[in-house]
Amino acid sequence: MSNHTINRSLLAKLADINWLLPVLILLIGMIGVATIYSATDGSWNLGAKQHFVRLLVGMLLMVLIAIIDIRIWYAMAYPGFIVALILLLGVEFLGVSVNGAQRWLDLGFVRIQPSELMKLAAVLALARFYHDLPYWRVSKPIGVFGALIIVFIPVALILRQPDLGTSIMLAATGIALIFLAGINWRVILSSLILATIAIPLFFSYGLKEYQRARILTFLDPERDPTGASYHIIQSKIALGSGGMSGKGFMEGTQASLNYVPENRTDFIFTVIGEEFGLIGGLSTMALYVLIIGVCFWLAGEIKQMFSRLLIMGLAITFALYVLINLAMVMGLAPVVGVPLPLISYGGTVMMTVLAGFGIILSAHLHRETELPRGSGLLL
């Protein structure tokens, strides 16, 4: 372990950051600014300006996080998880309702969405859990149930808010990490069998009426063309009318005439698809794939379990945002309220995602730093 990589100067650290990732992020973020500008009929003040400011502030935060020593993140994994859990419980009892779902916690000075915080905290906790766990215990009951507790207690709490999208993302990220940590195929197979039994039960008893309606609508979009399936039909129309090369910047009619609801936020991809067509849509998707690919590549350069799983987990979370959102917009998944990260308008998700990238960059920047193993709960 070469010493110079551990005790670098601030400037040296900054120089060592993988700058490819921030450049790609900035690019996608700017696509977001332009699209919001167009979706709000060419207005800076209806979100575009704020999005731009948030992007810059968030990226500054990302760089700050990136240069924080990975040992601090390692040490904060469990306490952070517990704080996030407490906040989630806080939402359960003291939360503020927005649009029929209780997701926000009003702390007086700031309103936060603990489920977003949990996306980071759960990945950190799980990465540390597997880092500390001897490999041979991964498929043993302590390994399996320890991981399941870290994943599914927050999932259950978030589902109660109710926030189906975040729950799915968190569960899927957790399962992916458990898979990456090396759980053996026998456990995977038996879980799959268990899941096929559990899912129908979950559908009947675990979901709220409107969530069930959304899933049913997704399965049969013509069921209710003005109600829940209106989103899907209108967004398909917006995309479809864009054609190969689109109607041109600021020329989208579906989006600018507000046919597609929430086109600044969850359905912003329809604006891109309508105005820039298939070419614009595919290019945007390619940018996302590139970012995720870079993250995977960064993870591949690391030997340590914590950092590697951390990067993978955060990258998978990011990928799930993108995949679920696109599938939803294209009518391939139910409308679950997952934004398109870095492009959709919205501060909390932007901060979560950029903080996540900060941690990824930190993990990569400090890949040579030796992490203790199995040390105490807090440090």
Partner 1 sequence: MIKKSDDIANMISRRSALIGIAGLSTFSILAARLYYLQVTRAEDYKVLSDKNRFNFNTVLPERGQILDRFGIALATNKQDFRLVLVPERVNNIDLALERINRILPLSKPKQKRIKNDIRKQAKFIPVLIDEHIDWPIFSKLNINLPTLPGAIPIEGKGRHYPHEGVFAHVLGYVGKPSPSALQQDNDTLLRQPAFRMGKTGIEQSLDKNLRGRAGRKKVEVNAIGRTVREWDDDKIPAIAGRDVWLTLDSELQTYTASLFGEESGGAAVIDVATGELRTLLSMPTFDGNLFVLGLTNEQFKKLDTDPRRPQFNKVIGGGYPPASTFKMPVMLAALEHKIVTPKDQIFCSGKIHLGNRDFHCWKRKGHGLMNMHSALQHSCDVYFYEIIQRLGMDKVKPFAEKLGLGQTYKLGLGGQAKGVIPDPQWKLDRIGNSWRTGDSLNAAIGQGFVLSTPLQLAVMAARIANGENAVSPFIVVDDETPTLEPLDINPEHLLFVQEAMYAVCEVPGGTAYKPGGLGIPGVEMAGKTGTGQVRGISANERLTGVLKNEDLPWKLRDHSIFVGYAPYDNPRFAACVLVEHGGSGAKLAADICRKVLGRALERDGMTGTVEPNMVGDN
The site for partner 1 (CB under 8 A) is made up of 134-136, 176, 179-182, 234, 236-244, 253-254, 256-259, 261, 273, 277-278, 281-282, 285, 288-289, 292-293, 296, 299-300, 303, 305, 308-309, 312, 316, 319, 323, 326-327, 330-332
Q: Which is nearer to partner 1, 18 or 139 (CB)?
A: 139
* Nearest by Cα to 360 from 127, 157, 174, 162: 127
Report DSSP state, residue 265: T
Q: Which is nearer to partner 1, 55 or 168 (CB)?
A: 168
Strand order in the sheet with 96-98: 96-98, 101-106, 111-112
Q: Which is nearer to partner 1, 124 or 255 (CB)?
A: 255
Query: At closest approach, how far in Å is the CB of 338 from partner 1?
Result: 14
DSSP letter string, 37-85: HHHTTS-IIIIIHHHHHHHHHHHHHHHHHHHS-HHHHHHHHHHHHHHHH
Query: At closest approach, how far in Å is the CB of 271 from partner 1?
Result: 13
Phi, psi angle pair for 103, to nearest 5°? -125, -15
Query: Using CA atoms, how far apart are residues 359 and 311, in angstroms rounded to an integer?
Result: 8
Q: Which is nearer to partner 1, 113 or 325 (CB)?
A: 325
Q: Which is nearer to partner 1, 104 or 218 (CB)?
A: 218
Q: Are 124 and 137 in contact (CB under 8 A)?
A: no
- The C-alpha angle 356, 359, 361, rounded to 5 degrees, equals 110
Query: At closest approach, how far in Å is the CB of 186 from partner 1?
Result: 14
Query: At closest approach, how far in Å is the CB of 237 from partner 1?
Result: 5
Q: Which is nearer to partner 1, 18 or 241 (CB)?
A: 241
**In 3-state terms, what secondary structure has residue 307?**
helix
Indicate the residue type of 30: M
Query: At closest approach, how far in Å is the CB of 242 from partner 1?
Result: 6
Query: At closest approach, how far in Å is the CB of 285 from partner 1?
Result: 6
Query: At closest approach, how far in Å is the CB of 77 from partner 1?
Result: 18
Q: Which is nearer to partner 1, 156 or 182 (CB)?
A: 182
Dmax of the chain from CA atoms? 64
Per-residue three-class SS string for 319-366: HHHHHHHHHHHCCCCCCCCCCCCCCCCCHHHHHHHHHHHHHHHHHHHC
Query: Using CA atoms, how far apart are residues 244 and 247, in angstroms rounded to an integer?
Result: 9
